Amino acid sequence: MSASDVTVMVTRGNHHVLVRSVMIAFQDLYRVLDFVGQGTFGAVYKVSNLRDGDYFALKILKSEFVPDNDARIRFEREFELLARLRHKNIVRVHDSGTKSGFSYFTMDWVEGGSLSSVLRQTERFDSSEVRIVLSQLLSALGHLWDNEIVHRDLKPDNILIDDSRKVYLVADFGLAKFGAHLEHRPAYWAGTIPYMAPEQFCHAGDVDIRADLYSLGIVGIQLLTGSLPEFVLSSDDPVAARYSVDFDGLSNQLRQFAPSCSLPTVLCKAIMPDPNARWANPVEMKQGLWT
């Protein structure tokens, strides 16, 4: 296959992504089928293995970060981190390396879509579905917690869901912190603003698993009600907004969607501004979910 044979433009919404160079670089290993999306540092493509036709997700370091040694180290660290994890609700990684200047790794391909894409179609989930989805994600977060990992960017875009409603924490761990490799850069924001815990705005290097539980609480509210809570959308002072929540009003709103289960209480506790007032860990929050 020559360069002149491969000029493909893949369209997703308003994004036009030229995949010609990727197709050429990996033509002896994979057939590039589609552009899926992009995360913090990487772009993801759906590919099929030329050897057996199996589907994989191919993640490459985005071109603008190639000269950035710190970004490359983060990208490689992401693979190393994922290779440590073995959990049914976390996508597995398989292969990694550098090819024609592209740093890359491959992951399981999950048939379905992101939780955000499903939300756009269904608007909201009923309370029983929300509890099932959250239970699976808490199980995955429990595995991260056991491995001293904090995701720091938990949001619907980073969660995959298949047709059977099985969910997977997707491999966008470019902002994760773990073990002895914790970062302490007080001015460094890590996360996506609507889902970030208050402490992530000022002390991103000091957060623990309770920041992920906060993010999961916001995701749970979005699943249950079909929208983000108003206070997380404040652009003037997002930190102050998180400290001024009317929890009685929020609880009453959530009970309109889940009148006969513990879900409203669980979600409100997850998003308390003070980390010490939240669930202590994923195991505790999961137990609360089913009581």
Domain harbouring 60, CATH code:
3.30.200.20
Structural domain total, the chain: 2
Tens of pLDDT along 111-146? 988 999 999 999 899 999 999 999 999 999 999 999
Choose the final residue of a domain: 108, 134, 169: 108
Same domain, 82 and 157: no
Range with lowest mean pLDDT among 36-45, 64-73, 80-89, 97-106:
64-73
Q: Please report which residue ranges of 64-126 form alpha helices under DSSP H.
A: 69-83, 115-122
Same domain, 63 and 133: no
Same domain, 56 and 133: no
At 6, is the pLDDT very low, low, confident or very high (cuts 50, 70, 90)?
A: very low
Q: Which residues lie closer than 8 Å to 140 by C-beta, 6 or more apart?
A: 87, 89, 90, 168, 169
pTM: 0.85
Same domain, 122 and 265: yes
Same domain, 94 and 163: no
Q: Which of 95, 126, 146, 153 is catalytic?
A: 153
Known active-site residue 68:
no
Amino acid in position 47: V
d(CA 59, CA 103): 8
Percent of the chain at pLDDT > 90 equals 51
Same domain, 67 and 191: no
Is a pLDDT exceeding 70 seen at residue 65?
Answer: no
Closest CA relative to residue 47, chosen from 134, 114, 109, 127 = 109
| Cα dist from 131 to 36, 95, 127, 235, 285, whole Å | 28, 34, 6, 30, 11
Quick one: pLDDT at residue 82? 83
CATH number at residue 200: 1.10.510.10
Same domain, 211 and 124: yes
Same domain, 98 and 132: no
At 5, is the pLDDT very low, low, confident or very high (cuts 50, 70, 90)?
A: very low
Amino acid in position 33: L
Same domain, 131 and 275: yes
Same domain, 45 and 154: no
Element (H, E) at 100: none
Average pLDDT over the chain, rounded to whole? Answer: 84
Question: Average pLDDT in the 201-222 region?
Answer: 89
At 264, is the pLDDT very low, low, confident or very high (cuts 50, 70, 90)?
A: very high
Amino acid in position 64: E
Same domain, 104 and 168: no
Query: To the nearest 10°, the Cα dihedral for 16, 22, 27, 32?
Result: -40
What DSSP assignment string belongs to 181-232?
G----TT---S-GGG--HHHHH-GGG--HHHHHHHHHHHHHHHHHSS--GGG
Question: Average pLDDT in the 204-222 region?
Answer: 91
Same domain, 16 and 83: yes
Structural domain of residue 67, as residue ranges? Answer: 3-108
Choose the final residue of a domain: 108, 139, 171: 108
